């Protein structure tokens, strides 16, 4: 835990008692602050009370005594309208911040030189965060990982010289972190997302830009127009040393790729040239993972990791569950869990990772637009196996373009796809769960859906699971 001493002797309101809110309560109390906590959930209120927080109805509280409001990132700050607790704070002049702002202030007070890597982007930030931490740990560094992925930042060990924090940040968290100034700030990409929360693409992109604008080493993707505009604005603001990531080799400077080979160059002033090859690394397959690997490499090399250490660490990265996760093989057939693909854009990333012979399991609760945007990838699909509420809509899109079968449920789809793979003559058939849908018709979330797929595959006769286990 990181005790927060910057509010010692003062009283702070905390609203939203989930993972980050409860960690904030604990850290503030440990640092000597008084905490008044509020939440709609009785369980959250009870937990905060056991920690020593005063639990009150914040609609009736005396807000003049609060030095700050620490807000959970899921609570609306501006759109579609400010939450009532935000309006209360603003009416009384109380600053509204988040848990990562508490961390940033504590770092500035306790260990301002402690390495801090902050990572954001519409897509890929979880993989990049996990990969950056993996590389640094492989190089023998003391690493703490969390934020939007895994552990709340204040539940991690505190900032200290030589201890690196690698923190994933959503746009919601950036919005609540006004003094964010990481050692390395990475912005991977910007595509439309969370517009119900931020109002416009300009506002959403502007928040993403805040993560890199005060970074000692800003690293920005070069593969979308929004990020290219952010890079140009950084340069106009005399940040000419901004590193760029070009997964599609649109430019050949900064951090880019020659096919699967990763290359570093100016304005980076460290070891330049090819430093790693992703060919054959199953956990980093696909063009999107080239961007993730370039970003993680840039962060680690800015913190002193050598090219040789980098290349070795990339080969041992296990990947993240439900993101092009390699489950195992039966003979020639490879089984891939991409349950995280809850929309067409995410499924496109998965389909782009395989050239041919894909046995595609898809469906669930459909999103707007369906799978029509994926038409360009249909030639890669040998057959589709439809499940869930989207079955008929997806069947209409695939009709005459891709052979398909209506399976209804995931267990039937896995059985049908594995049988077709065994009966066919493809050199390496790919049984791919990449649903392009939400899971809520049959499963609580995409993790539960992915776990169900993993269990079904693990039960298949002759399976050799990744790591050597098998049925």
The residue ranges of every structural domain in the chain are 11-97, 101-315, 325-465
Q: Which residues contact 441 (CB under 8 A, 6 or more apart)?
A: 364, 365, 388, 389
Q: What is the pLDDT of residue 250?
A: 66
Q: What is the pLDDT of residue 383?
A: 98
Report CA dihedral (91, 94, 100, 105) to the nearest 10 degrees.
150
CA-CA distance, 87 to 79, in Å (whole number)?
12
* pLDDT for 227 beyond 80: yes
Q: How high does pLDDT run on average in the chain?
A: 93
* pLDDT for 470 beyond 60: no
The set of catalytic residues is 125, 148, 194
CATH class of 11-97: alpha beta
User: Among positive and negative, which fits the CA dihedral 266, 269, 272, 276?
Assistant: negative
Q: What is the pLDDT of residue 268?
A: 87
Q: Please give the average per-residue pLDDT across 67-88, as a whole number.
A: 92
Q: Please give the average per-residue pLDDT across 152-175, as a whole number.
A: 96
First to last CA, the chain: 41
Q: Where is pLDDT greater, at 243 or 453?
A: 453
**Residue 164 confidence class, pLDDT cut points 50, 70, 90:** very high
Q: Please state the pTM of the whole predicted model.
A: 0.90
Which region, left, alpha or beta, applies to residue 99 given φ > 0 means left and ψ of -120 to 50 means alpha? Answer: alpha
Q: Which residues contact 299 (CB under 8 A, 6 or more apart)?
A: 117, 119, 132, 166, 184, 186, 219
CA-CA distance, 109 to 420, in Å (whole number)?
61
Three-class DSSP labels, 285-323: CCHHHHHHHHHHHHHHHHCCCCHHHHHHHHHCCCCCCCC
Q: What is the CATH number of domain 325-465?
A: 3.90.190.20
Q: What is the pLDDT of residue 468?
A: 53
Q: Which of 226-240, 242-256, 441-455 shows the highest mean pLDDT?
A: 441-455
User: Among positive and negative, which fits the CA dihedral 190, 192, 198, 200?
Assistant: positive
CA-CA distance, 317 to 133, in Å (whole number)?
10
Q: What is the pLDDT of residue 201?
A: 86
Q: What is the pLDDT of residue 467?
A: 65
**Residue 239 confidence class, pLDDT cut points 50, 70, 90:** low
Q: Please give the average per-residue pLDDT across 88-111, as a whole number.
A: 97
Q: What is the CATH number of domain 101-315?
A: 3.40.1190.10
Q: What is the pLDDT of residue 11?
A: 98
> Using one digit for the tens of pLDDT, what is the confidence trace for 22-65?
999 999 999 999 999 999 888 889 999 999 999 999 999 999 99
């Amino acid at each position: 835990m990181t005790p927060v001493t910057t509010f010692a002797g003062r009283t702070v309101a905390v609203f939203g008692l989930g993972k980050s809110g409860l960690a904030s309560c604990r850290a503030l109390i440990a640092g000597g602050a008084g905490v008044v906590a509020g939440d709609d959930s009785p369980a959250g209120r009870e937990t905060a009370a056991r920690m020593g927080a005063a639990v009150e109805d914040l609609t009736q509280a005396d807000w003049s005594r609060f030095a700050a409001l620490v807000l959970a990132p899921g609570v609306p700050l501006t759109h579609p309208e400010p939450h009532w607790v935000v309006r209360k704070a603003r009416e009384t002049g109380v600053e509204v911040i988040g848990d990562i702002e508490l961390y940033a202030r504590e770092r500035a007070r306790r260990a301002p030189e402690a390495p801090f890597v902050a990572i954001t982007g519409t897509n890929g930030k979880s993989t990049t965060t996990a990969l950056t931490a993996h590389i640094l740990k492989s190089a023998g560094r003391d690493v703490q990982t969390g934020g939007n992925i895994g552990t709340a930042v204040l539940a991690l060990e505190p900032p200290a010289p030589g201890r690196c924090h690698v923190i994933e940040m959503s746009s919601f968290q950036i919005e609540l972190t006004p003094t964010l100034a990481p050692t390395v700030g990475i912005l991977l990409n910007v595509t439309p997302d969370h517009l119900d929360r931020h109002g416009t693409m300009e506002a959403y992109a502007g928040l993403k830009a805040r993560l890199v604008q005060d970074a000692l080493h800003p690293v920005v993707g070069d593969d979308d127009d929004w990020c290219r505009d952010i890079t140009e604005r950084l340069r106009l603001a005399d940040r000419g040393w901004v590193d760029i990531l070009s997964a599609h080799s649109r430019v050949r400077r900064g951090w880019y790729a020659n096919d699967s080979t990763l290359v570093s160059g100016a304005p980076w002033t460290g070891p330049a040239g090819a430093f790693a090859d992703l060919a054959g690394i199953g956990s980093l397959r696909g063009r999107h993972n080239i961007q993730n690997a370039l970003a993680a490499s840039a962060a680690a090399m800015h913190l002193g990791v050598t090219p040789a250490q980098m290349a070795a660490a990339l080969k041992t990265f296990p990947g993240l569950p439900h993101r092009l996760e390699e489950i195992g093989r039966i003979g020639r057939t490879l089984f891939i869990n991409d349950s995280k693909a809850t929309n067409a854009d995410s499924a496109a990333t998965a389909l782009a990772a395989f050239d041919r012979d894909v046995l595609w399991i898809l469906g669930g609760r459909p999103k707007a637009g369906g799978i029509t945007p994926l038409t360009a990838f249909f030639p890669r699909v040998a057959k589709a196996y439809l499940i869930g509420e989207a079955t008929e809509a997806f069947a209409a899109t695939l009709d005459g373009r891709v052979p398909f079968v209506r399976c209804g449920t995931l267990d039937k789809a896995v059985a049908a796809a594995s049988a077709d793979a065994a009966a066919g003559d493809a050199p390496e058939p790919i049984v791919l769960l990449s649903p392009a849908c939400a899971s809520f018709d049959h499963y609580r979330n995409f993790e539960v859906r992915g776990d169900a797929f993993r269990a079904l595959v693990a039960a298949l006769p002759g399976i050799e699971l990744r790591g050597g286990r098998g049925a």
